[in-house]
Chain A
Amino acid sequence: MHLNARERLTHSPHLRDINQWPDIPLDQIDKTKRRVFIKNRRSMAMALRGFRYTDIQDKTGISPSSISTLLERALSGEADEEPPLTQALIPWEHLKKSRRRKALPSLAAPAGTRCALTYLLDTVDELENKLDIVLDGYLKDDPHAENIRPGAFHEYFLQLLAEAGHPKDHYPHTQADLGYEALRQYMHQRLDQKRMERLIKQQPKRVIDPSQSRFAFGRELQFDEQTYDAQSVVYLKFDNQLVPLRMARFSLILVSDVDTDCRLESYLSFTQHPSQYDIQNALESAFTPEPLPELTTPGLSYNFEQGFPKNLDARFTRIAFSFTNVDNAMAHHASHFKSFWHRRQFGVFHAGIPRAPKPRNLIEHAIKLLSMQAKRLKSTSGKNVVDPDRESRKNQKKVPVVTVQEIEEMIRVLLVKHNNTPQPRLNGATPLETCQYHMSHQLLRLVPAEMIAAYRPYEVRQQVTVKWLKEDNALPHINFCYLRYRGKAINDAERVGKKVEIRYDYRDIRTLQVYDLYGKRLGEIYAPKTWRRYAHSVKTRSYIHRYCRRARIRMKDPLVEFFWLQVNRKNSQKSALEVMRLYREYHATLPGSTPINDPPADEADTVHPESDFTYQSQVPAWSTETANAQQNR
């Protein structure tokens, strides 16, 4: 409903007081308009107080008709809209969108072209709608549409005008550019308008994060795995020679606390597709008390006493995180990773909706910061293939200068520095200081030490059936991971064909512990002798067997020969990555692991309490003599 000035003052009596009108500071008004604005405002104040228009004219010089016009301009409008008020007192101020009243210019009657395009869009049938169809197709990524450009849009415009029968002697044909510039501006404005409407419509409606959450260390943990954007070199010693091998990019797993922005751990995984085991290793490492490793790289130093929360005190290794936020990678839905949450942290496992990385913004940003440092190295892969910082062809012909260990130490030094850097969002405190403060002053959740002791992160339990090939005169066996395991524990005719439970450390599957389904320990069983020389994981054995299916290596003593073959393929960067992973696995210090040769003569003499499920690492150093001995066997 339209209100005139008198009706507006009846509807909103408070507007009679000009002090209730919005205040526009004089310095925001153009200098040339200020005098008239002041006069208008003065006359408006007098008119609202009831002064006679002739008296106002005497005082201000504004005629009564102008005063009426000014009142209408300032106060009239739709009832449900705000009137212009003070803005209307600025001389020549545009209060409404400009509309053309005059006819379009033609060759016979030239005129200005102000608002001519808007006039055309309003008067020509379906012109605006059809132009919108072109823009909508572009924004919606319609496969039948085109990536619209101003030139093409102009052609559409002229064609639609011709189809609508618009006279050829009227605007835009009276202009040299045929209205191109006006249409170009219209196209961009309309695109922005439509983009905004789509964005507003596309805003997520479902709630995926609580609006209120406690600010505390241990509330939410985030981690992510990403390929590190730099290649490195690894030196392997063969025949008393150091052989440099260029290595493909490895993966970096970064673990961080959300509220304090404190980095908990970085873990290098020598594969470009980290598995659940790699993630579990990274998480275990974040809660394992150990001092900061010594730096061996010249020029690097920590500069701080404390590096990570686990270095602070024992309570930080027992901290239990309430939430974790992960993406939908298959490794995150795997049993080992989830068992860390349900049997070690007792927290909420949260896998968010696909293509929604914002809830994991912190860790994505953290990895991006580390990537920026990676791009300082000459052996970086850069942001894309045309990045000028990407490693040049000249350097690609040689091995990189930086080694894996140097990169590892660089990353650690950077994370230690981050944890000791004051942050504005923490009121000037460092992440480590904030963690300590929260631990002392807030009731954080700690897992009881007994539960941590009872949790065996690398132990896997599985039910299998005992088999017996009587015709071969063989002892009973269990099929596990491509091999037959035998031992006194299953040499019982009553167990043949029945299920038993095997428990093993997935990092070293040379032996399996056998239990019956009621939890009573039956003993140990062993892999064939050829598989007992070195500790190897489920992943390694599976990889070797898949590789062997292509009949590229002999099965006799495959571990050593496989390693040797990888070394001989040293020109392959991916193989070098595999060599590094194998090398570290073979020389891993597993507490309690021993090279398994033969089963002990009397198992009753060996003590295997459940709490002592550990291995000692005594794997002999690999050398060419050993390999050759195996080859010539």
Chain B
Amino acid sequence: MTTSALPGRDVRVTRNRPLRPVQQPSSLKIRRSADYYEQQMVKCPEVCAFHCLAELLHACLLEGDPLVESYVPQPYSLRVLGKPYVPDIYYRKQGREFVGELKPRGEFDEAMRLALETFFRFHNKTFIVISNEAMFKQEVLAQNWLTVVQNLASSEDLDTSEAEWNICAAVVAAEVLPVREFVDAGDREASLLEEIALYRLLHQGKLTTNLETQWLDYDSELRPCI
């Protein structure tokens, strides 16, 4: 595939000029033909659409990374080398902006990669290709974060500031405490605020627990991160 002398010129924005990341709607054709997922997320506060399992897991990992400020799936509608193209993800991490494409084994057309890297570098963004296999290796972690996100999405109106403070103080004092210390298995309604506060603290990175190899449960040990 031939490209122009300036590869970035092969990329055109077809929607939302200037380059503002807004989730592009998925057509009914894609929704019915792809392995399609939808989930209300937190760092991207809307119902996010994903076109494969790897994209969903990647978004869950972004939710769990305290350095990631926000992300947008399917952010731009572009035309690359004459063909329509929608990147899979946009996210901001530590002040830097990244635009990502998830592919099996990280295989992506070289000409397109070059064009997109140059184009986004001109706009102070970094274009990266992420392999699906890297997401599947962190399945347990991603699914744990998905549980946290779903809990937060269902309770966004609850005020848990006091409960967060109490939990933080208790965990810092004790250094390690199990989740059952705050969540009453017999009366979940009574400990609802503490439960949501706990998830918020995990999401903010103020508490940590082993989510890589174990499912989030009553016995998960909480440790302070502050």
A residues with CB within 8 A of B: 205-214, 315, 320, 322, 328, 333, 338, 341-342, 346-354, 440-443, 445-451
- The answer to whether B33 touches A353 (Cβ under 8 A) is yes
Contact A213 B143 (CB under 8 A): yes
For A214, list chain B residues within 8 Å (CB): 143, 215
Do A206 and B35 touch across chains, with their CB atoms under 8 A apart? yes
On chain A, the residues within 8 Å of B146 by CB distance are 322, 348
Q: How far is the CA of A451 from the CA of B157 in the complex (A)?
A: 9
Contact B39 A212 (CB under 8 A): no
Chain B nearest CB from A81 CB (Å) reads 31
Flag whether B53 is at the interface (Cβ < 8 A).
yes
Contact B218 A442 (CB under 8 A): yes
State in angstroms the CA–CA spacing of A342 and B218 once bound together.
26
Which chain A residue shows the least CB distance to B185? A440
Contact A451 B154, CB 8 Å, known A207-B136, A209-B53, A441-B185: yes
Are the CB atoms of B216 and A210 closer together than 8 Å?
Answer: no
Given known contacts A320-B154, A342-B40, A207 and B217 CB-to-CB distance under 8 angstroms: no
B47 closest partner in A (C-beta): A342
Chain B residues lying within 8 Å of A451, measured Cβ to Cβ, are: 154-155
B49 CB → nearest A CB, Å: 9
> Would A328 and B39 count as touching, CB distance under 8 A?
no
**Which of A208, A210, A441, A442 is close to B143, meaning CB atoms less than 8 Å apart?**
A210
Question: Min CB distance, A219 to chain B, in Å?
Answer: 9
Residue of B nearest to A359 (CB): B35
> Is the Cβ of A447 less than 8 Å from the Cβ of B189?
no
CA distance A536 to B118 in the complex (A): 60
Cβ A351 vs Cβ B36 within 8 A: yes
Q: Which residue of A lies closest to B52 (CB)?
A: A206
* Chain B residues within an 8 Å CB radius of A449: 189
CB distance from B60 to the nearest CB of A (A): 10
Closest to A356 in B: B35
By the criterion CB–CB under 8 Å, are A322 and B150 in contact? yes
Q: Which 3 A-B pairs give the minimum distances between C-beta atoms?
A: A346-B154, A349-B38, A328-B32
Shortest Cβ distance from A280 into chain B, in angstroms?
16
B188 in contact (CB, < 8 A): yes
Kindly state whether residue B177 has any CB partner on chain A within 8 Å: no
The answer to whether residues A443 and B154 also contact, given A207-B54, A212-B139, A448-B192 and a CB cut-off of 8 A, is: no
Looking at the assembled complex, report how far the CB atom of B213 sits from the nearest CB atom of chain A, in whole angstroms. 10
> What is the distance, in angstroms, from B12's C-beta to the closest C-beta of chain A?
30
In the complex, A206 Cα to B52 Cα: how many Å? Answer: 9
User: B151 on the interface (CB 8 Å rule)?
Assistant: yes
Contacts of A450 in B (CB 8 A): 157-158
Q: How far is the CA of A333 from the CA of B30 in the complex (A)?
A: 12
In the bound complex, CA of A440 to CA of B153 (Å): 23
Docked complex Cα distance between A342 and B154 (Å): 9
By secondary structure, the A interface counts as: loop
Interface string of B1-43 (1 = CB under 8 A from A): 0000000000000000000000000001001111111111000
Contact, CB under 8 Å: A207 / B53: yes
Say yes or no: A342 contacts B150, CB within 8 Å: no
Inter-chain contact B155/A347, CB cutoff 8 Å: no
Given the known interface contacts A208-B53, A210-B143, A212-B140, the answer about A443 and B33 at a Cβ–Cβ threshold of 8 Å is no
A348 with B37, Cβ < 8 A, contacts A342-B47, A443-B217 known = yes
Nearest chain B CB to A352 CB, angstrom units: 6
CA of A211 to CA of B146, assembled, Å:
16
Q: How far is the CB of B39 from chain A (nearest CB, A)?
A: 5
Among candidates A208, A441, A447, residue contacting B154 with C-beta atoms closer than 8 Å: A447
Distance A228 CA – B196 CA, assembled complex (angstroms) = 43
Contacts of B132 in A (CB 8 A): 207
**Contact residues in B for A351 (Cβ distance below 8 Å):** 31-32, 36
B38 contacts A342, CB within 8 Å? Answer: yes
Chain B: minimal CB distance from A74 (Å): 43
Residue of A341, A445, A448 with most chain B CB atoms under a 10 A cut-off = A448
Q: Does B147 contact A (CB under 8 A)?
A: yes
How far is it, in angstroms, between the C-alpha of A41 and the C-alpha of B158 when the chains are bound? Answer: 80
Q: Can you name 10 A-B residue pairings with CB atoms under 8 Å?
A: A205-B104, A206-B104, A207-B54, A333-B28, A349-B39, A353-B35, A441-B185, A443-B185, A445-B154, A448-B154
Nearest A residue to B32, CB-CB: A328
Decide: A320 and B143 in contact? CB cutoff 8 A. no
A333-B32, A351-B31, A445-B150 provided; 4 other pairs, C-beta below 8 A?
A209-B53, A210-B57, A333-B31, A443-B179
- Inter-subunit contact A442/B154 (CB<8 Å): no
CA–CA, A442 and B217, complex, Å: 6
Tell me if B183 is interfacial: C-beta within 8 Å of chain A. yes
Do A354 and B192 touch (CB < 8 A)?
Answer: no
Quick check: is B56 within 8 A (CB to CB) of the other chain? yes
Say yes or no: A346-B33 contact (C-beta < 8 A), given A443-B218, A447-B154: no
Using CB atoms, name the residue of chain B closest to A333. Answer: B31
A341 touches B218 (CB 8 A): no
In the bound assembly, the distance between CA atoms of A446 and B190 in angstroms comes to: 12
Instruction: For residue B156, give the distance in angstroms from its CB to the closest CB of chain A.
Output: 9
The contact of B188 among A212, A352, A446, by CB within 8 Å, is A446
Contacting residue for B32 out of A212, A349, A354, A443, CB 8 A = A354
Question: 1/0 per position for B113-140, CB-CB distance to A under 8 A?
Answer: 0000000000000000000100010011
For A333, list chain B residues within 8 Å (CB): 28, 31-32
- Nearest Cβ distance between residue A585 and chain B, in whole angstroms? 30
| Chain B residues, Cβ within 8 Å of A354 | 32-33
Contact A350 B37 (CB under 8 A): yes
Cβ contact within 8 Å between A341 and B151: no
* A residues less than 8 Å from B188 (CB atoms): 315, 446
Contact between chains at B153 and A346 (CB < 8 Å): yes
Q: What is the distance, in angstroms, from B40's C-beta to the closest C-beta of chain A?
A: 5
Interface 1/0 per residue, B145-186 and A, CB below 8 Å: 011001101110110000000000000000000010001010
Chain A residues within an 8 Å CB radius of B28: 333
Which residues of the partner chain B approach A205 to less than 8 Å between Cβ atoms?
Answer: 104
Q: Which residues of B contact A209 (CB under 8 A)?
A: 53
A440, B192: Cα distance in complex, Å: 16
B181-217 residues with Cβ-Cβ distance < 8 A to A are: 183, 185, 188-189, 192, 215-217
The residues of B that contact A342 with a CB separation of less than 8 Å are 38, 40, 47
Within the complex, the shortest CB–CB distance from B139 to chain A, in Å, comes to 5
User: Of all chain A residues, which has the CB nearest B53?
Assistant: A207
A266 CB to nearest B CB, Å: 26
Question: Contacts of B153 on A, CB cut-off 8 Å?
Answer: 346
> Bound state CA distance, A449 and B190, in angstroms?
11
* Closest CB in chain B relative to A342 CB, distance in Å: 5
Inter-chain CA distance A322–B53, complex, in Å, is 14
Most buried by A among B34, B183, B188, B216: B188
Contacts of B34 in A (CB 8 A): 353
B32 touches A210 (CB 8 A): no
Q: Does A448 contact B155, Cβ atoms closer than 8 Å?
A: yes
Distance A348 CA – B154 CA, assembled complex (angstroms)? 12
For residue B47, which residues in chain A have a CB less than 8 angstroms away from its CB? 342
B139 CB contacts on chain A under 8 angstroms: 210-212
**How far apart sit A205 and B103, CA to CA, in the bound complex (Å)?**
13
State in angstroms the CA–CA spacing of A349 and B26 once bound together: 14
* In the complex with contacts A320-B150, A442-B218, A341-B35 CB distance below 8 A: no
Q: Which residue of chain B has the shortest Cβ distance to A213 in the bound complex?
A: B143
